[in-house]
Amino acid sequence: MKSVVELKHVSKVIRGKKIIDDLSFEIVEGEVFGFLGPNGAGKTTTIRMIVGLIGMSSGEITICGKDVKKDFEEAIQHVGAIVENPEMYKYMSGYHNLLQAARLIQGVTKEKIDEVVELVGLKDRIHDKVKTYSLGMRQRLGIAQSLLHNPKVLILDEPTNGLDPAGIREIRDYLRSLAREKNLSIIVSSHLLSEMEMMCDRIAIIQKGKLINVQYVQEDTEVMKRTYSCIVDNPKKALQLLKKQGYQINIRSNELELMLDKEEVPEVINYLVHHDLLIYEMKKLSRSLEDRFLEITNNGAVKANA
């Protein structure tokens, strides 16, 4: 897949302190990429470097192959971003705000404005004054504004900050459908794992300016062996039989635990049935992202202490 944003060994030192430490990762076309880390981890700083609001001390950032340092104009034309609160005129309508923003960009047509309004679902309220908008609607207007110039990547720093659960859900759904329909790459930051889990395809975990890990939210790919638990009437017999067949298998509190490819699941069931075992349950044990997250960050802490 095509890489849209790439960071290579990016570091930032402010007043002798390393705020960002050797970050490298890339974001591909059409994915929602989450930037997860506690307060002060360096999310905003990294985003500010990506969009060129501050310089980096070392390293390289490219957007659609263009170097942010050397070809700033060309690189930044592919980016739509809301880093600090989006600038809006509260006493003007949403529509007039968009017109105002469009004046600063070459070649934005009325149709384009209508399109972005439609895209973020503000059609019914776009002619109302912004001061009457909810926070979620303002966020969406901000997103509409940052989409006017057809960016390839949308970057939002904590887009759900201050929103209630319904607002969070709304933004989340819009972002997901934007990525899908427009093949747009989206970078969002947050300190909330649960939220990231629902919104993102991949999550980069950052702690004290360092990249701890990059995870797919859906770890569940077909190639990967997964753990299944199986309840049968005679687990010991089943264990012996399946071991002989070469399966990776254990017994845990009277349940069988098997490592299987998806395709092996019906095989195993068939096999057990043909050997007169009664199967009461066969299910995939999913490890939540939270489990994985804690595992990773604990490991990170262990490594850091070592």
Ligand X SMILES: Nc1ncnc2c1ncn2[C@@H]1O[C@H](COP(=O)(O)OP(=O)(O)OP(=O)(O)O)[C@@H](O)[C@H]1O
Name which of Mg ion, ligand X, none residue 34 binds, using a CB cut-off of 5 to 8 Å depending on partner kind. none
Instruction: Indicate the helix (H) or strand (E) that contains 3.
Output: strand 3-14
**CB crowding 3-33: b at 16 or more within 10 Å, else e:** ebbbbeebbbeeeeeebbbebebbbeebbbb
Residue 150 near Mg ion by CB under 5 A = no
Tell me if residue 165 falls in helix, strand or coil: helix
Q: How far is the CB of 43 from Mg ion (least distance, A)?
A: 5
Nearest CB to ligand X, comparing residues 41 and 76: 41
Q: How far is the CB of 296 from ligand X (least distance, A)?
A: 17
Nearest CB to ligand X, comparing residues 83 and 279: 83
Name which of ligand X, Mg ion, none residue 179 binds, using a CB cut-off of 5 to 8 Å depending on partner kind. none
Among 3, 11, 44, 227, binds Mg ion (CB under 5 A): 44
For the segment 80-119, give every residue that binds Mg ion (CB under 5 A). Answer: none
* Cα 137 to Cα 20: distance, rounded to the nearest angstrom: 33
* Cα 62 to Cα 50: distance, rounded to the nearest angstrom: 8
Tell me if residue 201 falls in helix, strand or coil: coil
* Cα 114 to Cα 95: distance, rounded to the nearest angstrom: 9
Phi, psi of 96 (to 5 degrees): -65, -30
Name which of Mg ion, ligand X, none residue 19 binds, using a CB cut-off of 5 to 8 Å depending on partner kind. ligand X
Name which of ligand X, Mg ion, none residue 163 binds, using a CB cut-off of 5 to 8 Å depending on partner kind. none
Q: How far is the CB of 196 from ligand X (least distance, A)?
A: 13
- Contact set with ligand X (CB under 6 A): 14, 19, 37, 39-45, 191
Alpha carbon 224 to chain centroid, angstroms = 21
**CB crowding 168-194: b at 16 or more within 10 Å, else e:** bbbbbebbbebbeebebbbbbbbbebe
Nearest CB to ligand X, comparing residues 15 and 110: 15
Phi, psi of 152 (to 5 degrees): -90, -25
Contact, 51 vs 81, CB < 8 A? yes
Please tell me the count of residues contacting Mg ion according to CB under 5 A: 2
Nearest CB to ligand X, comparing residues 51 and 64: 51
Nearest CB to Mg ion, comparing residues 44 and 213: 44
Q: How far is the CB of 54 from ligand X (least distance, A)?
A: 8
| Gap between the terminal Cα atoms of the chain | 37
* Cα 156 to Cα 170: distance, rounded to the nearest angstrom: 15
Nearest CB to ligand X, comparing residues 185 and 190: 190
Nearest CB to ligand X, comparing residues 21 and 60: 21
Tell me if residue 168 falls in helix, strand or coil: helix
Q: How far is the CB of 186 from ligand X (least distance, A)?
A: 17
Name which of Mg ion, ligand X, none residue 45 binds, using a CB cut-off of 5 to 8 Å depending on partner kind. ligand X
Name which of ligand X, Mg ion, none residue 215 binds, using a CB cut-off of 5 to 8 Å depending on partner kind. none
What token pair was written down for 244?
Answer: 């002989």
Which region among 19-27, 40-48, 102-110, 177-185 touches Mg ion (by CB under 5 A)? 40-48
Q: Which parts of this chain interact with Mg ion (CB under 5 A)?
A: 43-44
